[in-house]
Structure 1
Amino acid sequence: MTITSDLGVDELARVRRVRAEEPGAIRAALAGRRRREVVRGDGRLFIVAADHPARGALAVGQDPTAMANRDDLLRRLAIALRRPGVDGVLGTPDIIDDLALLGLLDDKIVVGSMNRGGLRGARFEMDDRFTSYDVETMVESGVDFAKTLLRVNLDDAGTAATLESTARVVTEAARAGLPIMLEPFMSRWHDGRVVNDLSTDAVVLSIAIAAGLGASSASTWMKLPVVDDMERVMAATTLPTLLLGGDSGADPDDTFASWQEALALPGVRGLTVGRTLLYPPDGDVVAAVDIAAGLVHAGSAS
């Protein structure tokens, strides 16, 4: 599949050269980028997610290595970030550093992904400890927003440590004035793999648990899946919420329709979506991103 992007071979070669010869340029690129307010204009956010590779999740649909080619991923991200209505990007430091060197982060919200230790398919998958960004580094480097996955398994004693460590970073983020997005799930082991419970009751329960973590909820946002009875889901919290897209394999039209309905609910502030838009079935990244941007910023000039 050919992806049309004006991100050239020379630019990608420069990233590799700079990483080897001038690593200090990464810090300078992050410090020198033009920043923006997190919430502005219509108050809604459309964030493109690209933190999947670091947790060993390279598959999209039936392609088990769709996200393995870094140049291809960066080209897709370049297309998305240059489209109107795209407010920012979510990634681990390797992705964010590449994008900074490519000059793609000006006037964008940068969301730092914090925990990727529980690798997809590993025996230790529930041990999703913090192995990526930390609050101090994000504040120092000008990252605008933090994000952490929170999987709660009531049959796994390790969940207690996960809750404690998550509460700690929520507290740290609140003290630093750094918005932090929690992505909670009720999870369980099934046939040797971790499965998230996407029933309405389970999502509501996950919100109740996550919202209470930390010494202050002043900086806390939610990142929630679109499930049945989203009215009841959003009635469970006053925290600002972004909807996640996932890789459901559903018909794109059905997916967009479900997003549109959920975006109209009180408390929903926008979308954080990755694979569904970066790797659409027809390969048209521009069209997929533009549709999602239109849903988020409906009636807005942004």
Structure 2
Amino acid sequence: MPQQISDDEWRRLLQTRATRPEAVAEAYAQRRRPAGLLSDDGTIFLVAADHPARGSLASGTDAMAMANRRGLLERLMTALSRPGVDGVLGSPDIVEELLLLGALEGRVVVGSMNRGGLDGAAWTMDDRFTGYDAASIKACRLEGGKMLLRIDDEDAGTAPTIHACARAVTELAQHKLMAMIEPLPYHRDTSGFLVLRKDTASLARAVTVASALGTTSAYTWLKMPSCDEPEVVYGATSLPCVVLGGVPGPDPEADLASWGRTLCQDSVRGLVVGRTLLYPPDGDVARAVDAAAALLARASRAT
């Protein structure tokens, strides 16, 4: 079962939110930061929790899974308490709640930047920056910023998103902060539904486009899915990469196997996984997280 937030802790959080907004800035300023992005093993394992900010609340068959904020925070705190987990990737609201609950001491925190391309919206590919910006990531003492870059050659909304991501990469680099880009190629099927392109050529092309964004790539990381030919896709860049969890599948073992093949690539440094670990089919968050951490550890030893 997820780690419980007691009724008293929940009431204190709600009270602080309502009466002491300055407590958020205090929590940012007082957070003990990690020594670096990578663990002693040279890896990074983050739990992703920025889906609700884009209106994406479903996990598996539960369309409202991530709508329960107390439950989501409990699942996140469970994941963060497990050995091998280095930190969190989240939108400002979730990061601040975890800070107020004392769950981010010594943890890597990456702030989510563009969440304006709402899930299911007609303008979804025009993914506006509505979360953290480079200046606030620096001021809040976070370790970096993450941006989603969905690429659809037939959707003009892709162009302003590419431009905005390039600007964010430049601004983060000016502060010597990691810019984590998630470049994903898409197309619309005959019904107009967005479908992720999983073929090697499309994924490798997305890697090369994202790698070149901004005035420097010195601080750029890439967040990419596992794939059938990871040696080609991840061989398209020298930048450090992390493997994303993606949409949870019905078989957690199959997800793990897919991640494992990709984690063995030389450029891959770790995992960034959200719903797949936070909402496993059997409800055991700790076990799901531990299995992913063990997989990453094995891949690290093998490379």
TM-score between the two structures when normalised by the length of structure 2? 0.95
Contact 2:39 2:86 in 1 (8 A): no
Matched with 1:277 is 277
Residues 27-176 of structure 1 mapped to structure 2, 5 A cutoff: 27-36=25-34, 37-176=36-175
**Equivalent-residue separation in structure 2 for 1:261 and 1:195 (angstroms):** 23
**Equivalent-residue separation in structure 1 for 2:85 and 2:7 (angstroms):** 24
Residue 233, structure 1, aligned to residue 220, structure 2: no
**Equivalent-residue separation in structure 2 for 1:162 and 1:67 (angstroms):** 26
Among 3, 13, 16, the alignment partner of 1:15 is: 13
Query: What secondary structure is seen at the aligned counterpart in 2 of 1:235?
Result: helix
**Equivalent-residue separation in structure 1 for 2:72 and 2:262 (angstroms):** 28
**Equivalent-residue separation in structure 1 for 2:20 and 2:248 (angstroms):** 40
**Equivalent-residue separation in structure 1 for 2:291 and 2:49 (angstroms):** 19
C-alpha displacement of 1:44: 0.2
**Equivalent-residue separation in structure 2 for 1:189 and 1:241 (angstroms):** 27
**Percentage identity across paired residues of the two chains:** 50
**Equivalent-residue separation in structure 2 for 1:144 and 1:90 (angstroms):** 10
C-alpha displacement of 1:183: 0.3
Kindly provide the amino acid, as one letter, of the partner of residue 213 in structure 1.
Answer: L
Query: What secondary structure is seen at the aligned counterpart in 1 of 2:65?
Result: coil
Kindly provide the amino acid, as one letter, of the partner of residue 93 in structure 2.
Answer: D
Kindly provide the amino acid, as one letter, of the partner of residue 17 in structure 2.
Answer: R
TM-score between the two structures when normalised by the length of structure 1? 0.96
Matched with 1:188 is 187
Residues 40/248 of structure 1: CA separation in 2 closer, same or farther (3 Å cut)? closer
**Equivalent-residue separation in structure 2 for 1:208 and 1:5 (angstroms):** 41
User: Comparing 159-168 with 128-137, which one deviates more in the overlay?
Assistant: 159-168
**Equivalent-residue separation in structure 2 for 1:192 and 1:55 (angstroms):** 19
User: How big is each residue's C-alpha offset from its partner over 1:115-158, in whole Å with a ceiling of 9 and x where there is no partner?
Assistant: 01010111111111101110000100111111000011111223
**Equivalent-residue separation in structure 2 for 1:9 and 1:259 (angstroms):** 37
Matched with 2:259 is 259
**Equivalent-residue separation in structure 1 for 2:170 and 2:129 (angstroms):** 15
User: How big is each residue's C-alpha offset from its partner over 1:205-231, in whole Å with a ceiling of 9 and x where there is no partner?
Assistant: 100111111000000000000111111
Residue 221, structure 1, aligned to residue 221, structure 2: yes
Query: What secondary structure is seen at the aligned counterpart in 1 of 2:257?
Result: helix
Query: What secondary structure is seen at the aligned counterpart in 1 of 2:291?
Result: helix
Residue 293, structure 1, aligned to residue 285, structure 2: no
The answer for unaligned runs of 5 or more in structure 2 is: none
How many residue pairs get aligned? The number is: 298
Query: What secondary structure is seen at the aligned counterpart in 1 of 2:180?
Result: strand
Kindly provide the amino acid, as one letter, of the partner of residue 222 in structure 1.
Answer: L
**Equivalent-residue separation in structure 2 for 1:160 and 1:32 (angstroms):** 39
User: Comparing 181-190 with 106-115, which one deviates more in the overlay?
Assistant: 181-190
Residues 73/19 of structure 1: CA separation in 2 closer, same or farther (3 Å cut)? same
C-alpha displacement of 1:4: 3.8
Runs of 4+ displaced beyond 6 Å? none
C-alpha displacement of 1:271: 0.3
Residue 205, structure 1, aligned to residue 211, structure 2: no
User: Comparing 228-237 with 254-263, which one deviates more in the overlay?
Assistant: 254-263
**Equivalent-residue separation in structure 1 for 2:39 and 2:31 (angstroms):** 18
Contact 1:125 1:194 in 2 (8 A): no
Contact 1:123 1:192 in 2 (8 A): no
C-alpha displacement of 1:189: 2.8
Alpha carbon RMSD of aligned pairs, Å?
1.3
Kindly provide the amino acid, as one letter, of the partner of residue 16 in structure 1.
Answer: L
C-alpha displacement of 1:297: 2.5
C-alpha displacement of 1:287: 0.4
